[in-house]
Amino acid sequence: MSLARAVRSRQLSPVELAEAYLRRVDRHDPQLNAFVWRNDEDVLRAAKEAERAVMSGDELPPFHGVPIPVKDLNSVAGQPNTYGSAGTSDAPSEETDLSVERLLDAGFLLMGRTNTPEMGPMSVTENRRYGVTHNPWDPRFSPGGSSGGAAAAVAAGLAPLAQASDGGGSIRMPSSACGLVGLKPSRGRVPMRVPAWEHSATDGAITRHVEDAAAVLDVMSTPDLLGWYHAPVPHRPFADEVGRDAGRLRIGLLLSAPTGVPVDEECVAAATSLARTLEGLGHEVTPVTPRFFSQEAAQAYIELVIPSALHLVSYERPELAEPYLQELRALALTRNIAEYARGMALLHRESREVVAQWGRDFDVLLTPTMACTPPPVGTVVQQKNADPTGFRLTETQMISFTFFANLTGLPAISLPVHRTAAGLPVGAQLVGGPFDEATLIRLAASVEPLYAWTTAVPDGLR
């Protein structure tokens, strides 16, 4: 928002802004591989048009002239959308996703496309078409996934914020790994033409500032009256929740992973740090042991929803897909619609019992964002290709605290409150009650001044 204000007040021109970020992409992205496609000429042309609008005194939208990259799972008319796959076409898309339309309406300049794992169901950002995206804090490690290209771009200062999406933690995991703010909206908050992954996935953004997370949610969440449903309209703009008193809340602290895997001490340290800070602000923080989904329900999502969703994208050459995706696509064809219907019914029933704990047992749930620190690049995908349907510890640790917010549709936010001894960021997560992004934004804004995340920049990238 600070850049948008500078543009509106003519302290900064959209052209200067676009040129500055494009120079940083030129300089730093060869080492990071955050971007997979660039449209520099289009960005500069749009920036010049934005500058003329500023000088003419026209009424300007809230993010007028601010550049933002789009994740390579989201479509923009005239841009390729390869879904990070070597087996798909790079022909220009014919339509623009609803969430991206809203970014354009808000005045953003679409600046390139960011890397993603093929088709999205992966917790790191590596694929055969574009290669590995590296963590700006230490290129030996992953920025997480699937919005790892988006997070790497923001953390490295290649973009002020980035469009992203989340189907099991894909906004929050990269935000944790890269030291950023990652807000996953509620189910139905951000419109999608076809709600992905049985209505568990959502579009959103990765930002450095809570104010930006709130303001971009405002513009992305304009209801789509043609869709089957949409989230309740908030009482006030989300941006107005920044600085508003959250009251005294009951915050449940969960340090053990719902999946039963071990939790790294650094991840525990992140959650306990935020717990102490919130206690210091007057909130009641109490250890809790919530009920989550049964193994049967979780397997329905993993073995039915995700494999089936992989058939919604057309492959030109499916034999070029990652081996784990080829196996998952084949798995979908061995299951029947009766199994799918039973699995979805079970998810719906159990979700009601999980969500009922918010407001009854606690107001907000506090957890580590991940159960492990960012893994080394080149490890997680290899493990999944070697055993696509088996148990993989690192991948399970990465999604252990995030996946249930997608299945229930609850809003959640990752905040960068801790660093390892080696300097890698580690996030803590707050999960709000149904459609209650407002409380998460109030809490996040209240702790932001007490941590140094808004000014933290990796060495060599200042």
Q: Residue 218 is which amino acid?
A: D
Instruction: Write out pLDDT tens, residues 209-259.
Output: 999 999 999 999 999 999 999 999 999 999 999 999 999 999 999 999 999
User: Helices then strands (H, E): number in the chain?
Assistant: 17, 13
- Retrieve residue 397's tokens: 């640790």
- Retrieve residue 250's tokens: 């009951």
- Retrieve residue 148's tokens: 């790892």
Would strands 250-253 and 284-287 be described as parallel, antiparallel, or unpaired? parallel
Q: Considering all CA atoms of the chain, what is the largest pairwise distance in Å, rounded to the nearest integer? A: 61
Q: What is the DSSP letter of 246?
A: -
- Retrieve residue 329's tokens: 């696509």
Q: In the block, which residue shows the tokens 């939208």?
A: 61
Q: Residue 107 is which amino acid?
A: G
HSE (CB half, 13 Å, CA atoms) of 217? 37
Single out the residue of 13, 70, 392, 87 nearest to residue 204, CA to CA.
Answer: 70
What is the pLDDT at residue 460?
Answer: 87
- Retrieve residue 284's tokens: 């009641």
Q: CA–CA separation, 273 vs 56, rounded Å?
A: 49
Single out the residue of 133, 221, 204 nearest to residue 166, CA to CA.
Answer: 204
What is the pLDDT at residue 144?
Answer: 98
Q: Are the C-beta atoms of 79 and 93 separated by less than 8 Å? A: yes
What is the pLDDT at residue 162?
Answer: 99
Would strands 131-132 and 181-184 be described as parallel, antiparallel, or unpaired? unpaired
- Retrieve residue 289's tokens: 């042991």
List the catalytic residues: 71, 146, 170
**Segments of the chain with pLDDT less than 50:** none
Q: CA–CA separation, 241 vs 395, rounded Å?
A: 34
> C-alpha angle with apex 151: 126 to 197, nearest 5 degrees?
65
> C-alpha angle with apex 67: 64 to 31, nearest 5 degrees?
170
Burial class (CB in 10 A: 0-12, 13-18, 19+), 426: buried
Helix intervals (H) in 200-322: 210-220, 265-280, 295-300, 306-309
Q: Are the C-beta atoms of 271 and 368 separated by less than 8 Å? A: yes
Residue 180 phi, psi dihedral angles, 5° rounding: -130, 175
Rg from Cα positions in the chain: 21
65: region left, alpha or beta (phi > 0 left; psi from -120 to 50 alpha): left
